[in-house]
Structure 1
């Protein structure tokens, strides 16, 4: 079975997971800008990974807009984000990015990545600073909000190689 891994990563967390997955599956790997539907059609299994940006998976339209050409393949999409891996987070991301019809063909996984403010581009830094101010203006913060505020000053990396095991198991069965 021929497998390909495509990824789009802003700060490196999705790229790290994509490399681990490709190594474990002996798969080909491409950065998003080097991939297109013509390449994907040559594979039996297509794995796409992207970082989250306001609950949207970066670049996932490569998969969703070409699903009619990929339906006969095993399709996996994973997203990376700083939020803890909880069912409500996973459901929100899945339902925001995929219709119920698309979910029949796409197996979704959430892999906790991290956050490194220093690696963001200027536009993203501005947006994240606005978010930080919004969070700080609240009278009471949730534990997640407190954790998010602390990440601005000290980068965090929650990636773990074993986090890809569920994807590997799914592909191999």
Structure 2
């Protein structure tokens, strides 16, 4: 199965997963910036197209690039994965995944989550400020839920939660 993984990565976690996935599937990777420059027929030779993006403010970055092309790719195996600073067990992950695609798009693609992390040294100033504000808000909140306690811990400093094991469901889905 000829596979391409298109990705958007701000600090490297999504790119890392994309490269690991390409290794596992014998596929290739391309940044969404480069993919945007390609004609539609560039994707014709691929059997599977995967989009990987990072999560910010409960949305998958540049997902619209992928979803706007899905109708053209209906005969292909389609998947989306996203990375974020939340542990895989965080309850907000399921909400994010449920909202990523509409009912029609869910007929043709599936969405997955891979815990990434935070690398404050590689973030844009705006992203750093957003995350630091979010961290401060969580820390100051009284009566935190278990999810909020875990999230406050995870966003307080740079961390790397990447693990190849999170790719297993994506690989299984694509190989069906």
TM above 0.5, yes or no, is yes
CA contact 2:91–2:147 (8 Å) conserved in 1: no
Task: Give the corresponding residue for 1:27.
Answer: 27
* Corresponding residue pairs, total: 173
Give the C-alpha shift of residue 94 in structure 1. Answer: 2.2
Alignment pair present for 1:150 and 2:153: yes
Deviation at 1:134, TM superposition (A): 1.9
Q: CA deviation at 1:87?
A: 7.9
Query: Aligned with 1:111: secondary structure?
Result: strand
**Structure 2: stretches of 5+ with no match in the other structure:** none
> Which of 96, 99, 110 is equivalent to 1:96?
99
In the TM superposition, 1:36-51 aligns within 5 A as 36=36, 38=40, 39-51=42-54
2:152 counterpart of 1:125:
no
Q: Which runs of 5+ in 1 are unaligned?
A: none
RMSD: 1.9
Show the counterpart of 1:70. Answer: 73
Find the aligned partners of 2:132 and 2:158 in 1 and give their Cα distance.
15
Match of 1:107 in 2: 110
Secondary structure at the aligned position of 1:6 is classed as: strand
Distance 1:152 1:96 in 2: 23
**Contact 1:4 1:28 (8 Å CA) reproduced:** yes
Aligned equivalent of 2:18: 18
Q: 1:88 to 1:150 in 2, by over 3 A?
A: closer
Residue range with higher mean Cα deviation, 85-94 or 42-51: 85-94
After superposition, what is the alpha-carbon deviation per residue over 1:47-86, rounded to whole angstroms, capped at 9, x for unaligned?
Answer: 1111101111111111111111011110010011122223
Moved over 6 A (4+): none
- Does the CA contact (< 8 Å) of 2:10 and 2:123 recur in 1? yes
Give TM-score scaled by structure 2 length.
Answer: 0.88
Q: Deviation string for 1:88-128 (max 9, x for gaps)?
A: 43431123221111111111111111122232110111211
1:7 corresponds in structure 2 to 7
The normalised TM-score by structure 1 is 0.90
Structure 1 residues 154 and 136, CA gap change in structure 2 (3 angstroms):
closer
